[in-house]
Amino acid sequence: MFWWMKTVTLLYLLAQTQCSTIVQNSTAGCRIIHPPREGGIRYRGLTPEQVRDVEFLPLDYEIEYVCRGDREIVGPKVRKCLANGTWTETHLPSRCLRTCSRMYLKLENGHAQAHEMGRSPVEGTWIEFHCDPGFRLVGSSRSFCTKVGKWDFPKPTCEGEGAFQGS
């Protein structure tokens, strides 16, 4: 056998091995994700029947979480199918949580400082209320957004110090 035939044969075998490895390590995409409680997922370009029948979605496919009613998505809103067969940010859960009234975020003659809040106040958010100089807080200095979407205390007010001097 001539040296060049050995080289061609070796290159052919090497190419076959690399192609075989690539095929074995590739994936058909990502396993379909099901929606969080009280929410849904927009599967772009798929009918509801196709979503029920499909087990994997293709690489680079994006899904978008949506929530029903008075709920807000907490966590990643969009996920993308990666080349390794996983979705982006799988370590962060996507949940649909109830929202509380935004009117608690402003306090006349004072300010409200929200904690653990994303785009909207959701269950688990809490607010601290403070009054401007010359005003006194009437009511609770804190309120928590509950699982039912209600603040646990009424919104306080800031009353002028002069209103309390006669008492």
pLDDT score recorded for residue 36: 81
pLDDT score recorded for residue 165: 54
Quick one: three-class SS letters along the chain? Answer: CCHHHHHHHHHHHHHHHHHHHHHHHCCCCEECCCCCCCEEEEECCCCHHHHHHCCEECCCCEEEEEECCCEEEECCCEEEECCCCCECCCCCCCEEEEECCHHHHCCCCEEEEEECCCCCCECCCEEEEEECCCEEEECCCEEEECCCCCECCCCCEEEEHHHHCCC
pLDDT score recorded for residue 50: 87
Average pLDDT, consecutive stretches of 10 residues, N- to C-terminus, the chain (167 residues) = 32 30 49 85 88 89 91 92 94 92 95 89 95 96 96 96 59
pLDDT score recorded for residue 164: 54
Domains plus CATH for the chain?
28-98 (2.10.70.10), 102-161 (2.10.70.10)
pTM beyond 0.85: the answer is no
